[in-house]
Amino acid sequence: MNSPKDPKEVLETFLGLLAVDCQIEEQNGPLGLVLQMHGGGRELLGDAGGGNLEDLQLLLNRILQASGYEGGRVQLDVDQWRQRRDEDFLGRVRELAQGVRETGRSVALDPMNSYERRLVHQMFAGDETLATWSPPGDARMKRVTIRRRAGG
């Protein structure tokens, strides 16, 4: 594999080297391509936070980027684990946002990584009453503030 430009093929090679037996399905996710692993690969989740999966995803994206892949970032998931985690996370954010709507008081969320911040910002991109804000800078973990829009 001299010029790996197919994300699924690169992932299959990784998993073969790791002796992980699973099926890979390509899906469209909220932020682009998702490679969904079925029938194995639960060991990739490692700890409850999915650190091993995150590490494998980072490595995959670095290799794709270095090879000239132009399809954007690729996300990895195992048996919809990340999807369920994201839905739970966004459900909690919706509850906090409802409090902002009712009270008018802004809420600063716990520090989160860029992926989670992007999900939150996208959730409120078209909202007429609420807006989100993150501080500038290149810190890995930052807070997002949910606030009422002026006149909202």
- What local confidence, expressed as pLDDT, does residue 46 receive? 56
| 43-58 pLDDT per residue, tens | 666 555 677 888 889 9
Residues 25-34, mean pLDDT to the nearest whole number: 87
Q: Which helix H or strand E contains 24, and what residues bound it?
A: strand 23-29
With a pLDDT cut of 70, the percent of the chain lying above it is 91
- What local confidence, expressed as pLDDT, does residue 1 receive? 43
134 in Cβ contact with 119 (< 8 Å): no
Residues 20-44, mean pLDDT to the nearest whole number: 85
On average, the pLDDT of the chain sits at 88
Q: With 90 as the cut, is the pLDDT of residue 33 above it?
A: yes
Strand partners, 33: 28
Question: Could you tell me the pTM of the whole model?
Answer: 0.74
Instruction: Quickly state the pLDDT bin for 144 (edges 50, 70, 90).
Output: very high
Report how far residue 92's alpha carbon sits from residue 94's, in angstroms, rounded to the nearest whole number: 5
- CATH 2.30.40.10 holds for 7-79: no
Instruction: Quickly state the pLDDT bin for 117 (edges 50, 70, 90).
Output: very high
Domain with CATH 3.30.300.20 in the chain: 7-79
Domain with CATH 3.30.1370.50 in the chain: 84-148
Report how far residue 138's alpha carbon sits from residue 144's, in angstroms, rounded to the nearest whole number: 14
**Tally of CB atoms within 10 A around 145:** 15
151 contact partners, CB below 8 Å, separation of at least 6: none
Written out in words, the top-level CATH class of the domain with range 84-148 is alpha beta
| 4-14 pLDDT per residue, tens | 679 999 999 98
C-alpha distances out from residue 50 to 69, 96, 128, Å: 25, 25, 34
